[in-house]
Structure 1
C-alpha cells in the first residue's frame, strides 16, 4: 500500500481512499490511473458544488455582487477564500499545475468511463463560518495574521517538497503545529471535515468506491468509516452544516469598547465639564476616523471611500452590529464598479500585490479590510488617550 493509498475493507464494501496534494502533478496521474484500474461503482471527490462551479464555469465570478457580500457580512469570508485560493495557485504556478486539478481529472475520468461521481465536501462558506464563529478574539487575531502573511508570502515550494506533503511523517508534524497554534481552527478545518467526508462517502452506498481527498484527511476518514461501519458512530452529520450561535461573551464583547469610550467621555463631563468632554470626543473621532481613513488610503481607495471611512468609523464603533468596512467597502464597490474583466482576471490577480490593487473586486475587499483594521487600532489607541485627558 502506498502512502497515498488506503483501502478500507468493510462488510460488503470496498472504499479506496486516494490522498492527494492539491497542486501535485503525481496526484493527477495517480488519480486517473487508480480510477481506470479499479473501475469503481462510484467516485467521490473532496469538493462542494460551489467550488466545482468556480473551477469549471468561467462566468462564476461575473455573478458576484460585491456590495451584497458586504451587506450580508461575508466580507471576511470572501477574503479568506480568496487568500487560500491565491496561496494554492501560487504554489501550483511554480509547478505548472492548477489547484484542484486532480479533482477535475477524477470527474473527467469518471465521466469518460461512465462512472457516477458525487461531491462529498462541506460548503467552503460553512467551513469558514464555523471556524470563525468558534474562534475567540485572540484566535481570530492569529487567524487573520496567518491569512495576511500567506497572502504576501514569497515562499516557494519545490515539486519534491509538494510530494513530501503527502507523507504521514510530514502531515503529522503539520497537524501538530496547527493544533498547537490554532486548535479550534484545526478541529473545524481538519477533524470535522474528516467526519463529514467519511459520512458523505459512506452515504454513497455502492460496493466499490474511489474517494479523492486531501492527504491530510486520509487516516481520519479511514477511522471514521470504520467507526460508522461498526455502528459506533452516527453517519448523520447535519449538525456540522450549522453555524454555531455566538456565545454570550461574543455578544457582549462587541459592546465593551464603545461602552468604555462612552463611559470615559461621560465621566470627563462630570469631573471636568463640557469642554474636556468635548475635547475627549474630538480626540476619539480623530483617532478612530483618521486611522480608518488611513487604512482606506493605503488600499488606494476612492476619495469618497476615504471620507466615508473617516465619518463612518465612529458610527460603526457605537453600533457593533455594523462595521466601518461595510460603509467603505460598499462605497468603493459603488464608485468603482467591478468590471467583467475584473471577474475574469481575479484568479490571476489575487496571486500578486499589483494584481490585488488593480482588480476592482479585490480592491474593494482591501478597502473593507484595511479600513476595519484602521478603525479597530484607532479605538485601542483612543482609550488610553482619553484616559490621559481625564487625568489632567
Structure 2
C-alpha cells in the first residue's frame, strides 16, 4: 500500500455513507515541521539533515511487513527518542494530543459540555470523560422517544432544537449542518497511523484539558540558531561575491591576454 493509502481508502468509503462527515483531525503539516525544526539547535539540525541525506536504502517487502508491527514502531520511536528527543515530542507526542482532541471534539462532547453549562437546571459540573459518558447516557434516556427524526437524523422536538443555540464549529462540518449535541451518541471512526494509537490512548483520560491552540503556536527560534542563520547567509553572500569577482577578473585577464597577443 502506498503511503497514506489507508486514509484515502477511509475517505473514499466515508463518501459512500449518507450524511457522513469527514474531519481532517491532524495538525497542519507546516506547523508541525516548523515547530520541529525550530526546536532543534544548529548542530542538531546539521546532523539530522546529514543523516537524512545519507540514510536512503532500498526497502524490501519483509522490512515493510516488519514495519507494520506495533513492537517495531515502538522500538523505532525509542531509538529516535534517544537521538532526537525534541523531534519525538513534537512529531509524536504533540500530534497524539492533537489527534485525541480532534476525535473528542468530533464525538460532540465539547458542544455537550458547553450546552450543559448553559442549562438553567444544571446542578453539577462534568470534569472527566467518565462523568461525561454517564451524563450523556442519562440524557439520552430522558429524551422523548416519540419525537420523529428527519432524514439527516435531527429531531423536530423543541427540546432538541433549542438544546444548543450555537451552531457546531464550521470546520467540523463538511455539509450544511452538524448534528446537535441532543443527537448522541455520534458514531465516530478515527483512522490514524498505528504509531499514534498508544499515545492517543494514553492522553484520552485527560483529553478535555488539551488546548489545540497551544500546540499550534510557532516557536521563537533560539538565539544560537538566528546567529548561525545570519552567519551562514553572510558566508554564502561572500562566496557568491568571490565567485563573481573571480569570474570577472579571469575574463578580464583572458581578454587582455588575447588582445595583447593579437596586437
TM-score (norm 2): 0.56
Specify which of 178, 184, 196 is matched with residue 217 of structure 1: 196
Give yes or no for contact 2:36–2:87 (8 Å, CA) kept in 1: yes
SS of residue paired to 1:209: coil
SS of residue paired to 1:211: coil
Report what 1:36 is aligned to. Answer: none
Cα shift readout 1:222-248 (whole Å, capped 9, x = no counterpart): 1112222xx5xx232111112101223
Structure having the larger proportion of residues in helix: 1
Change (3 A) 1:181 1:209: same
Partners of 2:33 and 2:244 lie apart in 1 by 31
Change (3 A) 1:111 1:144: same
Deviation at 1:112, TM superposition (A): 0.6
Specify which of 191, 195, 217 is matched with residue 242 of structure 1: 217
Give yes or no for contact 1:166–1:216 (8 Å, CA) kept in 2: no
The 5-angstrom pairing of residues 188-203 of structure 1 reads 188-203=90-105
Q: Tell me which structure has the larger Cα radius of gyration.
A: 2
Give yes or no for contact 1:130–1:188 (8 Å, CA) kept in 2: yes
Partners of 1:102 and 1:127 lie apart in 2 by 21
Partners of 1:106 and 1:119 lie apart in 2 by 12
Cα shift readout 1:212-269 (whole Å, capped 9, x = no counterpart): 11111110011112222xx5xx23211111210122333344456799x9xxxxxxxx
Give yes or no for contact 1:195–1:224 (8 Å, CA) kept in 2: yes
Specify which of 76, 86, 90 is matched with residue 184 of structure 1: 86
Specify which of 205, 213, 225 is matched with residue 107 of structure 2: 205
Give yes or no for contact 1:171–1:216 (8 Å, CA) kept in 2: yes
Change (3 A) 1:256 1:154: closer
Deviation at 1:165, TM superposition (A): 2.0
TM-score (norm 1): 0.39
RCO comparison, higher one (Cα < 8 Å, 6+): 2
SS of residue paired to 2:60: coil
Report what 1:156 is aligned to. Answer: 59
Unaligned runs of 5+ in 2: 109-184, 246-263
Specify which of 120, 123, 138 is matched with residue 25 of structure 2: 120
Change (3 A) 1:110 1:136: same
How many equivalent pairs are there? 167
Cα shift readout 1:327-371 (whole Å, capped 9, x = no counterpart): xxxxxxxxxxxxxxxxxxxxxxxxxxxxxxxxxxxxxxxxxxxxx
Unaligned runs of 5+ in 1: 1-96, 262-283, 293-307, 313-392
Root-mean-square deviation (Å): 2.9
Report what 1:138 is aligned to. Answer: 43
Cα shift readout 1:147-174 (whole Å, capped 9, x = no counterpart): 3235xx232131x432332323211110
Specify which of 65, 68, 71 is matched with residue 166 of structure 1: 68
